[in-house]
Structure 1
Amino acid sequence: MYSEQSFPIYQKRRVKRKRNKRLVGLIILFFLFIAIIIYLKSPISRIAEIEISGIDLLSENDIYKTADLRIGMYYLPIRTNSIKRKLLELEEVKEVNVTKQFPSKLVIQVIEEQPIAYLLNEDGVWLPILENGYIFNGNSEKNFLDRPLVTKWDDVNKIPKLVEELGKIKPSILVEISEIWQSRDLNATFDSSRLIIFTREGYRVHVLLEELGDKMNLYPAIINNLKTKTTKLGDIYLLESMRFEEFDDDNN
């Protein structure tokens, strides 16, 4: 049997162990604090590189300014979701992915809204009309030569509807459109709902704006049928009824 005198010795050992654990904990906290101070004062605690990809319409400066980014800012406080939310507010941005790469790099991958056509403004400058209907008033580093050119367009409020209809056209047919005009009716008065479509083959297609997508998807079949009857170019009317009129000598 254990004597009663052994219990005080056991209790002293247990108290000593608790004190040792507290001391070890304090030492760990002290060195952790020192490590944090050293890290915050070292260059690796700050952003040294910001890698941005996928931008043609926007510039890197646009990204920096919108997301409030700069080289040298602290790495740890950066919130990628906050950067993403700010960039998605830009009309030119469709999707964005932001990641942090330890110790000091930030990677931003952007997917922009793509131009679906180009609008000629009053100053003679071609402005990209993006897939979401936004008219980009800036310089693009990339040329989209296979997009329709929108000229003689007086009603800018009809641009969103034009974008909607162009989005319905099959890509293989869309590239066949070289130019788009707003037209005039038979009395030579302006009618913003009527369009003249110039094709790369040389035809002119007359169509209503609200029917542009559906009617232009019929274009290949119409052309194939016409070529069995004539080799001449002309006006294709896809209005209340369909008809074809050959160009006169002045249009050749």
Structure 2
Amino acid sequence: MIGLDQGKIVSIEERIPKLKQQRRKKANRRLVTLLSLFFLLIVCVVYFQSPLSHIKKISVSGNDLYKAELLVKNSGLSTGMNIWKLDKKEVETKIEKLPEIKSATVKWSFPNSVLITVEEYDRIAVIANENSFIPVLENGEILEDEGITSSPSNAPILIGFTEGEILEEMVNSLKELPFEILYSISEVNYTPKETDRFHISLYMNDGNEVSASLRSFSKKMIHYPSIVSQLDPSQKGVIDLEVGSYFKSYEPGGVETSEEEGEG
């Protein structure tokens, strides 16, 4: 028994090389770690001091109504600016102050590029005002200070409307229409009658005319595609939506049809 126990004993002389080797490995790992940190620090210092840390490119996407140059100007960003001074939330807030911007997102792309992505409010109409057009946004805001010289091709033109109850009613009614119906309208004329001061006349892109009252316009206009589908495509005329729905062809002796409200 004594002999077996003595055979398992490892002398200090035998353990010393192994201990030295373990200590050497630990020291090497520490040295590598310190050198890596030092190298990383040098790289960071060089990056901060070099042009690589300055904004080189600013890209804009999602814009249609606003030019990219205008959005960049309002963002407060500029090329050459230190990218580490970029406050994304602050830049997004600045851009969202523009009346036609619904939301803005700013992202940094390594090493020195910035991407601005915006979502704009749709223009549901423009108000004809002498030699310019005043945009009306989908949120109901009327941009009186931003008259444009040309009308957007897809937005209906409001003619004869002045600021007040009638215009507000018109805007609220347009907001309730699906875009496919909204953009099928070419013009909306305010044509009050003695019996109805809310009367309007619409000229459609398909060549038809619609006579309606703002009091029931949005509810009845939703059925416009269904009404038109029942008419002869070769005949154009006036669709009266004031009471039920009634069609009168422009052609003398043309077909006239009448439907009760809710039918068709």
Taking structure 1 as the reference length, the TM-score comes to 0.71
Which one of 43, 47, 50 corresponds to residue 42 of structure 1? 50
Contact 1:56 1:140 in 2 (8 A): no
The SS at the match of 1:71 is: coil
Contact 2:199 2:211 in 1 (8 A): no
Q: Which residue of 2 aligns with 1:126?
A: 133
Q: Which residue of 2 aligns with 1:15?
A: none
The SS at the match of 2:170 is: helix
* Structure number, greater radius of gyration: 2
Q: Which residue of 2 aligns with 1:106?
A: 114
Contact 2:201 2:209 in 1 (8 A): no
Contiguous gaps of at least 5 residues in structure 2: 1-8, 10-25, 253-264
1:55-204 → structure 2 map (5 Å cutoff): 55-121=63-129, 123-136=130-143, 137-138=145-146, 144-156=152-164, 158-186=166-194, 191=197, 193-200=198-205, 201-204=207-210
Q: CA offset at residue 138 of structure 1?
A: 4.3
The SS at the match of 2:77 is: coil
Q: Provide the alpha-carbon RMSD of the alignment.
A: 4.0
**Larger RCO (alpha carbons 8 Å, 6+ apart):** 1
Q: Structure 1 residues 101 and 115 mapped into 2: Cα distance closer, same or farther (>3 Å)?
A: same
Per-residue deviation, residues 107-156 of structure 1 (Å, max 9, x unmatched) = 112121121112111x3212332212233454879974232111111135
Q: Match for 2:132: what amino acid?
A: V
Q: Structure 1 residues 107 and 142 mapped into 2: Cα distance closer, same or farther (>3 Å)?
A: farther
Taking structure 2 as the reference length, the TM-score comes to 0.68
Q: Match for 1:47: what amino acid?
A: I
Percent same amino acid at aligned positions?
28
Q: Which residue of 2 aligns with 1:9?
A: none
Contact 2:134 2:148 in 1 (8 A): no
1:233 aligns with 2:202: no
Which one of 211, 226, 233 corresponds to residue 205 of structure 1? 211
The SS at the match of 1:76 is: helix
The SS at the match of 2:191 is: strand
Contiguous gaps of at least 5 residues in structure 1: 2-17
Q: Give the total of aligned pairs.
A: 240
Contact 2:126 2:151 in 1 (8 A): no
Contact 1:154 1:182 in 2 (8 A): no
Structure 1 CA distance for aligned equivalents of residues 70 and 31 of structure 2: 52
Q: Which residue of 2 aligns with 1:13?
A: none
The SS at the match of 2:80 is: coil
Structure 1 CA distance for aligned equivalents of residues 171 and 123 of structure 2: 10
Per-residue deviation, residues 135-191 of structure 1 (Å, max 9, x unmatched) = 345487997423211111113565454333223323443333221122222279xx3
The SS at the match of 1:145 is: coil
Contact 1:58 1:140 in 2 (8 A): no
Q: Structure 1 residues 245 and 154 mapped into 2: Cα distance closer, same or farther (>3 Å)?
A: farther
Q: CA offset at residue 42 of structure 1?
A: 0.5
Structure 2 CA distance for aligned equivalents of residues 198 and 40 of structure 1: 61
Structure 1 CA distance for aligned equivalents of residues 141 and 113 of structure 2: 32
Contact 1:52 1:107 in 2 (8 A): yes
